[in-house]
Structure 1
Amino acid sequence: MKIKIQFWIKRIVSIFDDDISFFAASLSFYSILSIIPMLWVLFFILDQLGAFEDYFARVKVFLVESLIPSHAETITNYLEGFMKNAGRMGGVGLVYIVITSILFYRNFQYIVNKIFMVPNHSFLHSLATYLILAFLMPAALGVSFYLSDYIQRITGDGHKIFGEFALLSYFMIWMLFFVLFKVSPNMSINVRIALKVSFVASLIWHVAKWGFVQYTLVNQTFSTLYGSFSALLFLLVWVYLSWLLLLHGLKVCYLMHCHYGKYD
């Protein structure tokens, strides 16, 4: 009994790896650098999918509220201004979008494979995975909102089921975490493990999001000191916290994979 307790204590302690905080900081920097290019790609692809044209605005709201739970309106204005400028950059802007997006994804893959202690994917494999995710994510978001409207029309009780996107938002974040946990490591991860860990990680993420919003409403220190610039600071903090949660989830996924030793 004592040995089992010591074993699980070591396992729990190993989750909180000091390197993960540095990894999260690195990914936060790359996220801020590439957030406009990646959103431009997502919105451009979604805009080309005529079947989901009616859901474009709702997808945009979902993405912005996921990126920054507070000051969403301010960040939306920033993003719209940046994206209008990005659309006028021409060929050079397109090259910049591709390069920053690939750099972000390569950095993410390096960190994930470092956590899982496996070699990196080849460049072509990474590029193919990134392109697949870039095209599938907008389509998946559009389908999710379409299904929510479809269920609402059938049941006539959609607002109670999907009030303020609550359940739908949780499901989409869960599926996003699951895909990242399953696809990102350069190894085969058991589907059940990825589903369980991503479910808990997405639940913690939503609780953290609620807590973060409450904190920003109560604590006005940043707003007093930095004024409108505080919205960007909150964006940085939330992006960093989100990466911390995601990377710790990946660490748990790796430890469970090692403990149970199951492969697909």
Structure 2
Amino acid sequence: MKNFFTILLNLRDKEILNYAAALSFYTVLSLIPILFVCFSVFTQISSFKAYYEKAKQVIFAFLIPTQQDVVATYIDTFLKNSVNLGIVGLIAMAFTSLAFFSGYDFVINRITKNEPKGLWQSISSYWTLLTLVPLGLGLSFYISGFIQQTLDDYKIGFNFFEILPFVIIWGLFFISYSSSVHKGTLKSLALVSFGAGAIWYIGKNLFVYYVVYNKT
């Protein structure tokens, strides 16, 4: 209870709104480049190609409340034209991705009072995230498909893919927090990432409700 009130008091910090605005800007700016990099790695693994469309549908449905078809079209176009992207395009994509991770690291370090990372350590962390996240997504869909097939074989009426999006976003929050926060235990990181995923899920559903039912 004491920790709960401490968190509420910290939310009164005026800088938190500035941090949230900065992260929102970088997220919008870098969303397509980051998804492009992740899906590029994903599609290079032959074992996971069969799950590409399903992964794209689940991720877009959970991460992007509206205009999913538009973003999906951009991603598919980027993937088809990636060989013709050129040096300027690669630099722009790398810059937007690094700007997002740099801003994210800065905010997390300020909140947790951690020492900022060095340049090469930061680049190493960013590259690890960009490569491990799509691998983790592919593995999660592979395991989920196996579990769902087992449930179907035993005629258990449970759709595992209904809870998979929340599990994925929980895992993404956990990985991102664990790569930046050095003082927390695995238990605390799991609880915090679960709370962040729940807030994301509730906020996303509220936004969808607003978009669908508010026609004015």
TM range (shorter): 0.7 to 0.9
- Change in Cα spacing, 1:90 to 1:131, as seen in structure 2 (3 Å) is same
Contact 1:152 1:158 in 2 (8 A): no
Contact 1:33 1:100 in 2 (8 A): yes
Query: Deviation at 1:147?
Result: 1.0
Q: RMSD in angstroms over aligned alpha carbons?
A: 2.3
Q: What TM-score comes out, normalization by structure 2 length?
A: 0.88
1:18 paired to 2:19: no
Q: Distance in 1 between matches of 2:131 and 2:157?
A: 29
Query: Deviation at 1:99?
Result: 2.1
Partner of 1:195: 190
Contact 1:38 1:101 in 2 (8 A): yes
Contact 2:32 2:71 in 1 (8 A): no
Partner of 2:215: 220
Partner of 1:68: 64
SS in 2 for 1:160: coil
- Change in Cα spacing, 1:181 to 1:220, as seen in structure 2 (3 Å) is same
Partner of 1:170: 166
Query: Deviation at 1:217?
Result: 0.4
Query: Deviation at 1:62?
Result: 2.3
What is the correspondence of 1:25-104 to structure 2 with a 5 Å cutoff?
25-81=21-77, 84=80, 87-104=83-100
Please identify runs of 4+ aligned residues in structure 1 that moved more than 6 A: none
Q: Distance in 1 between matches of 2:4 and 2:170?
A: 26
Worse-superposed segment, 49-58 or 28-37? 28-37
Q: Distance in 2 between matches of 1:104 and 1:201?
A: 18
Partner of 2:200: 205
Tell me which amino acid in the other structure corresponds to 1:198: S
For residues 216-259 of structure 1, the C-alpha deviation after alignment (integer angstroms, 9 at most, x for no partner) is 101123xxxxxxxxxxxxxxxxxxxxxxxxxxxxxxxxxxxxxx
Query: Deviation at 1:191?
Result: 1.0
Query: Deviation at 1:65?
Result: 1.9
- Change in Cα spacing, 1:118 to 1:64, as seen in structure 2 (3 Å) is same
- Change in Cα spacing, 1:11 to 1:112, as seen in structure 2 (3 Å) is closer
Q: What TM-score comes out, normalization by structure 1 length?
A: 0.73
Q: Distance in 2 between matches of 1:82 and 1:220?
A: 33
More RCO (CA 8 Å, sep 6+): 1
Contact 1:30 1:104 in 2 (8 A): yes
Query: Deviation at 1:148?
Result: 1.2
Q: Distance in 2 between matches of 1:10 and 1:144?
A: 35
**Unmatched tracts of structure 2, length 5 or more:** none
Q: State the percentage of identical aligned residues.
A: 32
Partner of 2:158: 160
Tell me which amino acid in the other structure corresponds to 2:148: Q
- Change in Cα spacing, 1:18 to 1:57, as seen in structure 2 (3 Å) is same
Tell me which amino acid in the other structure corresponds to 1:160: F
Q: Distance in 1 between matches of 2:80 and 2:21?
A: 28
Contact 1:177 1:202 in 2 (8 A): yes
Contact 2:60 2:68 in 1 (8 A): yes
Q: Distance in 2 between matches of 1:93 and 1:209?
A: 31
Q: Distance in 2 between matches of 1:75 and 1:41?
A: 14
Q: Distance in 2 between matches of 1:73 and 1:196?
A: 33
Query: Deviation at 1:68?
Result: 1.5
